[in-house]
Every structure is written in structure tokens, then in C-alpha cells.
A and B are shown apart, each in its own frame.
Chain A
Amino acid sequence: MSFDVDIALAQGRFQLDAKFSVPSGLTVLFGKSGSGKTTLINAVAGLLMPDRGRVRVGQRVLFDSEQKIALPAHKRRLGYIFQDARLFPHLSVQKNLLYGQRFLPRSLGKTDPEQIISLLGLEALLQRRPEQLSGGEKQRVAIGRALLAAPELLLADEPLTALDEARKLEILPYFERIRDELKLPVLYVSHAVTEVARLASTVVVLDQGRVTQVGSASEVLSDPQIVPTGVRNVGSVITAQLLQHHVDGLSELSCKGIPLFVPRIDRPIGTVMRLRVAAHEIILSLKKPEGLSALNILPGTIAAIHSGGGPGALVTLETAAGALLARVTQRSVATLELEVGKPVFAVMKSVAIAPQDIGRDHA
């Protein structure tokens, strides 16, 4: 099943003019904030009316300005997971989950809620009320609620953004399972490289309302073309707390107990910082290196390896500091026998973290 979008929509001075066609799987709509991602997903959902164009899911036309077709949101059979979970506060978790079932066409029969409930580990939460749930639990219920509406396409608008790092890691695998086990097509809005690296079957890069690139995760992430989208180059983002300033001009950060040394940051001690680490600045080692000038060594395990057409490969590591991307050659992958699950050490020079890549954490 393929998914085609070709829409134009003006919102004040902002002009969205996006066209792409992607196969089934998980499509990440990628771009910096203001690039039109949310506008586009809302137009697909039927919450915004494009000025002209076409939206098609498989054989079903949801919108076509020429044929004068514009299905209202409630007839589009899409599941939408919002950034904020938007659970109905007056209903229990169970009733939230089953909300969409009443509207399913009879021909479809009832889907079995048990499968989704156990997939998302919601059994123990069913009788609770939304206000008694943590942020991660709310988002899991929201995912379940969208899935139980038996959608033909699942939409997710930065579903992890409102969560802290630990919760993000808790939710991410569910999207992998939706992609791999339920085989449900997903349109997933994100500006996080780590989410792209882990989830995307196809990436659609959006910049100032226009599609600048469509391709596989490894192609897009390891492509210098991605520069104008605001991601200077491929890398990952980790959060760490400022621990102390040293007299030799370095600042020491603590990444869940692991020390990280970076060029001096003029921020008060205790500030939680966000660091972007470019994938090509990371060296992988099978043993903990000794006698090396690089100051930062992070142990981790390989979570994914993406290799594109070129000589490079993108390795995703799970570390205590979060997911870390390393760009190495395919030759290194072969000689070091890198594979998913293998423990490795990530090595990076202090000076490799550019000052503009260190920012205060918003959360």
C-alpha cells in the first residue's frame, strides 16, 4: 500500500506546497520547527483543509480538490497520536481505548482489543483515570486508542517530544513493533535524528513548506543535502548536567554518572545541557581504549546498523546518555564484526563538540 500526498495550503505568510509518494512502512516527516510538518499531518488528518491537491492512502482518496472530494476527519479512518496525549479526562483508560470502536464500519467486525492492550502493556491501567497516569503511560494509552480505531494509516505528531529521555526510550520500541508486527503504515512527524535513525523506513525531509528529499533513513541521514533542514549534519542529541568548570578551560558534564569533558560552557553549575554529537566525530572501539588523547569514552550496545549505498554505515548505540549515532565505514563494520547487541565503546574528542551544538535543555 502506498501513500501519496500532493497539497498546497497557505496559512498567513506560510506556504505549504508538498508532494511525495512513499511505500508502506514508517515514514518520518523530518524537518525543523516551522517547516510545515504539523500543518501537513493535520491536512492529511482532515483537521485542515488544503487549498488544492490530493491525498491518497492505498486506493482510498481522502482529498482531491479537482474531483471535489474532501472526506471529513471522522470518515478518514486514520489514527492520530498527538504530542500531548489528549486522553478524554472524563473517561477511564478502558473507555478511552475503546472510544473509536463504536464508529467502526460493521463490515470490519470488531478488532480484538486484547492484542493491542498486551502489545502496549496496558493491562494494569485499564481501570485508572487519565489523571492518575504518568506522561509515558498517557502516551501509551493514546497510542492504543489510535490503534484500536482500526486505522488504515497511523499519524503521529512528535509523540515523544513531551516526554523525558527515559520515557522516550520506553515508548520508541512500541513504534518499532507497530511498524514490524502490526505492519501498519505510519506517518511520523519528528525533528529528532535518533527517532529517524531508529524508526524510519522512509524519510521525507520538509524545509520551509517544501519537500527537499525523500529516501531511506540511512540515505537521508548520511547525506550532506540534509544541511539546509537545520540539522547541520547527522548526529545525536544527549542530555547532561553541568558538574564543574576546570582551570584548564574544560567544563565537566555528568551524563547519568559518566563524565564528559567539553570546551568551557558559560552556564551555572547544575544546568541541564543538551549536546549534539556529530556522528562522524565518533570512533567505535571494541575494548575500552587506554593511552588515548580523547577524553570522552562512553560504553554502549549497538541497537541498529544502517548501511546505505555508499561506503559509510550509521551505527546507533544505546548508552546511559541515550542513543548515540556513529558514522563509520562499512569496512570497519565488517572487520570489527559489529552487529546489533554487541557492546562497544564510543570515543569522542572534547573539541569535537562544537559550542553551537551545546544548548540548554528545554525540558
Chain B
Amino acid sequence: MMTWFGPEELQAVRLSIKVASWAMVASLPIGILTAYALARWSFPGKQLLNGLVHLPLILPPVVTGYLLLLLFGPMGPMGQLLAALNISVAFRWTGAALTAAIMGFPLMVRALRLSFELIDPKLERAASTLGASPLWVFWSVTLPLALPGVVAGSVLAFAKAMGEFGATITFVANIPGETQTLPSAIYAFLQVPGGETSALRLVVISVLISFAALLVSEALNRRLIKRLAAA
């Protein structure tokens, strides 16, 4: 590996995996809550929330990136709030992870929402008659039954995070070792003469990682669905 890769390429691969993993893990709890609320609850502003969640899917990525810069940049309201907590996301890998999380969020929520909607509420009612509090019902019945959606949503969010380019480069730029993820690195290599071989190697890696993620999720999902086959 080390000999085949240049240090810059390896750095980009490592950073991308780090950014995508953080984006996936950190957005999962919020994604589960949002998807559950959209699937099960009725509340004022539900359609607004739904629209907000889907916005990154529809907006041009460069717009999302610019909005993030306005919000989370050193001068932005969120940026100053985070600065007070000694957290900085501007031009940092954390900013890349935040961008990736927001861009992958609609895909994750869609998969989760669908799996929540497919769960028969009668099973949850049965659990409550057996003495389980609403939180326990969620933990012991709803969430396990939604596991295929959790896996699918996570993989989609991870894949989206690995490939996110437009919003990331707009918000956190293209700093090697800090914010230069796989797509940014491919882009950078293509800008310099003689960079094609490096770019091509990263393209192959990118395809392999995405494919592996897809295969793992398919395999997991098959096992889960078999396990959850209608009782």
C-alpha cells in the first residue's frame, strides 16, 4: 500500500474515511429521531421540517456550501456559538464532516422513515400491554425492527459523504491533510500536469470503497430481512 500510494493520496483516503465515518455516526441519532417524528408523529410544522431535511438534496451543492459558510464561518452566528465552546469548523476536517453529514442526511432520513413506516404499530401496542414503557418499546421493538433501514440509511449517508465535493470545497476549501477528501484530491491532481496517474489511483480506490460499502450493506440487509421475515 505505502509504496503504491504517494503520501498525499494516502492522506486523502484516510481523511475521507475519517470524515465519512464521523458524518455517519454523528448524524445517525438525529436521523433516527427525525425519521421517527416524520413517520409517526403529527405536529405543526411537520411539512416544514420535511422540506428542511430534503433541502440539501435539491439545492445546488455550492449553495449549501455557501450557506454553511455564512452560518458556521468565523463570522456566522453558529460559528460564533461554536467558537465560544472552543470548537472551530471553518477550514477544518470537522467542517468537512459537518458538510458531509448534512448532505447525506436526507438520504439517511428517507431510508429510516420508510422502515419506521413499515413497522406494524400493533406490535408496539402489544409490547406496551406487556409492561414496556414507550422508550422501552422503541428500544426493544421499534428500533430492532427498523434495523434494515438503519443499515441502508447509514451506508447511503457514508457513500454520500465519501463522494461529497461541491459543498465541501465551498465551505472548507481544499487543504491537503485537513479538508482534502478523496474527490477534492482527485480534482486537485487533475489540475496539475502529470497528476493523472494519482487521480486514477484514487478513482479506483473510490470505486472499491463505495462498492465494498454497498456489498456489506446488501449482505447485512439480506440477513436482517431473513431474520425479520413476517411472523
Instruction: Using CB atoms and an 8 Å cutoff, list the residues of chain A in contact with chain B.
Output: 45-47, 72-80, 82, 84-90, 99-100, 102-104, 129-131, 133, 138, 145-146, 149, 155
Inter-chain contacts of B125 with A (CB < 8 A): 47, 73
The 10 closest A-B pairs by CB, nearest first: A103-B131, A130-B231, A100-B130, A89-B231, A80-B129, A86-B126, A73-B128, A90-B144, A74-B128, A131-B229
CB of A103 within 8 A of CB of B122, answer no
Is B53 located at the chain interface by the 8 A CB criterion? Answer: no
Complex CA gap A138/B230 in Å reads 12
Contacts A87-B231, A89-B230, A138-B231 given; indicate if A77 touches B131 (C-beta within 8 A). yes
CB of B141 within 8 A of CB of A88, answer yes
Interface residues of B in 196-216 (CB under 8 A from A): none
Is B47 located at the chain interface by the 8 A CB criterion? Answer: no
Q: Chain B interface residue count: which class?
A: 20 to 34
Is B5 located at the chain interface by the 8 A CB criterion? Answer: no
CB of A78 within 8 A of CB of B129, answer yes
- Residue in B closest to A130 when the chains form the complex, CB atoms: B231
Chain B CB within 10 Å, residue with most, of A74, A85, A155: A74
Complex CA gap A99/B127 in Å reads 8
Inter-chain contacts of B122 with A (CB < 8 A): 82, 84, 86
Inter-chain contacts of A102 with B (CB < 8 A): 131
Q: Other CB < 8 Å A-B pairs besides A89-B123, A99-B130, 17 of them?
A: A46-B128, A73-B125, A75-B131, A86-B126, A87-B231, A88-B123, A88-B127, A88-B231, A89-B230, A89-B231, A90-B228, A100-B130, A103-B131, A103-B132, A129-B231, A130-B231, A149-B131
CB of B228 within 8 A of CB of A89, answer yes
Complex CA gap A155/B133 in Å reads 19
Inter-chain contacts of A82 with B (CB < 8 A): 122, 126
- Residue in B closest to A138 when the chains form the complex, CB atoms: B231
Interface residues of B in 65-96 (CB under 8 A from A): none
CB of B141 within 8 A of CB of A73, answer no
Nearest CB on B from A172, distance (A):
22
Inter-chain contacts of B137 with A (CB < 8 A): 74
Inter-chain contacts of B126 with A (CB < 8 A): 80, 82, 86, 88
Complex CA gap A99/B137 in Å reads 11
CB of B129 within 8 A of CB of A79, answer yes
Interface residues of B in 92-142 (CB under 8 A from A): 122-123, 125-134, 136-137, 140-141
CB of A149 within 8 A of CB of B130, answer yes
Chain A CB within 10 Å, residue with most, of B137, B145, B228: B228
CB of B128 within 8 A of CB of A131, answer no
Inter-chain contacts of A75 with B (CB < 8 A): 131
CB of A90 within 8 A of CB of B133, answer no
Complex CA gap A103/B229 in Å reads 27
Inter-chain contacts of A90 with B (CB < 8 A): 141, 144-145, 147, 227-228
Nearest CB on A from B127, distance (A):
7
Contacts A89-B145, A89-B230 given; indicate if A103 touches B123 (C-beta within 8 A). no
- Residue in A closest to B129 when the chains form the complex, CB atoms: A80
Complex CA gap A72/B128 in Å reads 9
Complex CA gap A46/B127 in Å reads 13
What 0/1 pattern do residues 215 to 231 of B give for CB contact below 8 A with A?
00000000000011111
Inter-chain contacts of B133 with A (CB < 8 A): 74, 103
Nearest CB on B from A60, distance (A):
15
Inter-chain contacts of A77 with B (CB < 8 A): 131
- Residue in B closest to A148 when the chains form the complex, CB atoms: B130
Complex CA gap A138/B126 in Å reads 14
Complex CA gap A46/B133 in Å reads 13
- Residue in B closest to A75 when the chains form the complex, CB atoms: B131
Q: Which of B131, B141, B145, B228 is A74 in contact with, Cβ under 8 Å?
A: B131
Nearest CB on B from A325, distance (A):
33
Nearest CB on B from A243, distance (A):
36
Q: 19 pairs across A/B with beta carbons < 8 Å?
A: A47-B128, A74-B133, A74-B136, A77-B131, A80-B129, A86-B126, A88-B126, A89-B229, A89-B230, A90-B227, A90-B228, A100-B132, A102-B131, A103-B130, A104-B131, A130-B231, A149-B129, A149-B130, A149-B131
